[in-house]
Structure 1
């Protein structure tokens, strides 16, 4: 079976062996890669349509108890000026985002234990009182009971990336964490009825093509409703400061193959892919992605949530970001989704 036939198999069956995924990750030429992107975009059109769904991102705390080697928010980064928003400020920002037309709000932070499950439940309930939005949480590992409290308060979705599906590689990247704990958390979220998102980082130090194939196989096994895939960008205050960043080409292949394997998943064109290439988000949207997550934080906070450096749109007001991303979407012949953008596969 040649490369084109293998792409066709993925397009029709949505189910490949790890070795076949590895083959797709390494096309022999430009024509093969272009065909992969074309078929992924075709499947995106058929399964989730031409609307691009916007998720308004609120990065409400840059404090983190973890020490992941790749992340600028890591505990040992003493050069970062940390901040925490009050629950009232978070609700206000969410309300403003809803007024700009966002139908999903993403509440994201480092793993900050200041925000207990009860505090998060209060924030969720207050947002739901004043805004007709879905709420996605991205706040790391919590207990089953904590996830349950937040779900009962009205949280709809949860994003918890595993970053790398290889247990040995996971240990290398996360010196104070457990791969099993991460998978257990994902299974708990599924059990509680969240729409669950997970994903990886493309180009992490020590990563191989086999690791990337394992990442896709795990996304398939977990049957995630959202799949977040972005490139590694080294941060100057981490142990990986001198490592090479992930490439646009491999990131786009991962997006495309994930679309072929998970035809109904919501897949974002990440800010990180837009950071490594000026047309990165557009290219991801043309390779199978169907979601964009503009930042709705006030500009004064954005430089202080530095997971990686040189992030795009740092100085822009939320209203400008909203108009800018809508222009990008329309330039591709697509429309901005007007609904919650919920998972359509069931």
Structure 2
């Protein structure tokens, strides 16, 4: 089954969930089996800095959140974390931070180069940079840059990301696309006031950008953020449908399987939420490398929670899939 047009995407998004489960979801899983040997990609996750200059209205790490304990890991601690990833037998690391203007860019280059020296596939998300800095990251050997567009609706983008513009975000994405680095990008599913039309437009943009990884999750309100006053969590059903659609549209793309379930207190560590995503075509699980005393402070979303390698092994066994 091929999905190529917005009309076809919308047909699935509007489909009764029971019909989706019996038809589309099964085909999406078959696509992953046929194209990727039913493999789960395991990635170490290191949120090395939670300081951010931006005022994104949905994010718990926004500059205006005065109640958050801020931290900035030093380069030597980051190197040790990268070494720990290697010792765990993992081959991928995702380095992520707030958009911290005081974090030395030379240290970002160093952490990328050190990860590559260890033989790791290195992904980085540190916000919007100049063309010159993206070129420096490319020269350092960075494999993948992660820059979500969050929403393809420009009015919504302006509302939720007042510290930048949609034009600048897409300009940065274009810089990445014109480099040897892969682009990871995607949307926030179910933002307040959004419709299935918006979701379909987001999916079509991901296809157009030919992304390497879709780091997608539903909107999860964070207390004391402006957007939390406007609506609750994004639809879990729409999230699962988007995962299935993306798998069938882009068979080899990586898709985040760390998804919430019905109980919001479980955050992204919800076992059923993770298994449901895996059975719909998602394939990427994470191992949090932050020290335990810092985990709660890297809170882009409420109840983020990602567990360790033992949890990944348990999910691999429960899902009947293969670990990369």
* TM bracket, shorter-chain basis: over 0.9
Show the counterpart of 2:296.
Answer: 303
CA drift of 1:29 comes to: 4.5
Give yes or no for the alignment of 1:280 onto 2:273.
yes
Decide whether the 8 Å contact of 2:2 with 2:249 is kept in 1. Answer: no
Q: Does 1:46 align with 2:34?
A: yes
Aligned to 2:115: 127
> Residue 301 of structure 1: SS of its match in structure 2?
helix
CA contact (8 A) 1:27 1:33 kept: no
Secondary structure, aligned partner of 1:330:
helix
Q: Give 1:74-113 correspondences, 5 Å limit.
A: 74-113=62-101
Cα distance change on mapping 1:21 and 1:271 into 2, 3 Å: closer
Secondary structure, counterpart of 1:215 in structure 2: helix
Shift of 1:326: 1.2
2:169 aligns with one of 176, 182, 187: 182
CA distance in 1, matches of 2:259, 2:288: 9
Are 1:167 and 2:154 an aligned pair?
yes
* Counterpart in the other structure of 2:145: 158
Return the offset for 1:271.
5.0
Deviating runs (4+, > 4 A) in structure 1? 271-274
Distance 1:123 1:227 in 2: 23
Q: Deviations over 1:89-119 (max 9, x none)?
A: 1111111111111100111001112234322
Distance 1:174 1:270 in 2: 24
Determine if contact 2:286/2:312 at 8 Å carries over to the other structure: no
Alpha-carbon distance between aligned partners in 2 of 1:29 and 1:82, rounded to the nearest angstrom = 42
Deviation at 1:18, TM superposition (A): 1.4
Residue 261 (structure 1) shift: 1.2
Distance 1:271 1:38 in 2: 18
Seen in structure 2, the aligned counterparts of structure 1 residues 101 and 211 have a Cα distance that, compared at 3 Å, is same
Residue 152 of structure 1: how far off its partner (Å): 0.9
RMSD: 1.5
Query: Is the CA contact 1:271–1:311 (under 8 Å) kept in the aligned structure 2?
Result: no
How far does residue 220 in structure 1 lie from its aligned partner after superposition?
A: 0.7
Q: Which residue of 1 aligns with 2:323?
A: 336
- Higher mean C-alpha deviation, range 25-34 or range 133-142: 25-34
Other structure's SS at 1:325 match: helix
Deviations for 1:137-180, whole angstroms, at most 9, x for unmatched residues?
Answer: 01111011101111211211111111101111211211121111
Q: How far did 1:209 drift?
A: 0.7
Instruction: Give ranges in structure 2 of 5+ residues lacking alignment.
Output: none
**Matching residue of 2:242:** 254
Matched residues in 2 for 1:282 and 1:260: separation?
18
Of 292, 305, 310, the match for 2:285: 292
- CA distance in structure 2 between the aligned counterparts of 1:21 and 1:271, rounded to whole angstroms: 21
Q: What TM-score, normalized by structure 2, do the two folds share?
A: 0.94
**Structure 1 length-normalised TM:** 0.88
Deviation of the 1:237 alpha carbon: 2.1
- For 1:105 and 1:271, the matched residues in 2 are separated by 19
SS in 2 for 1:118: helix
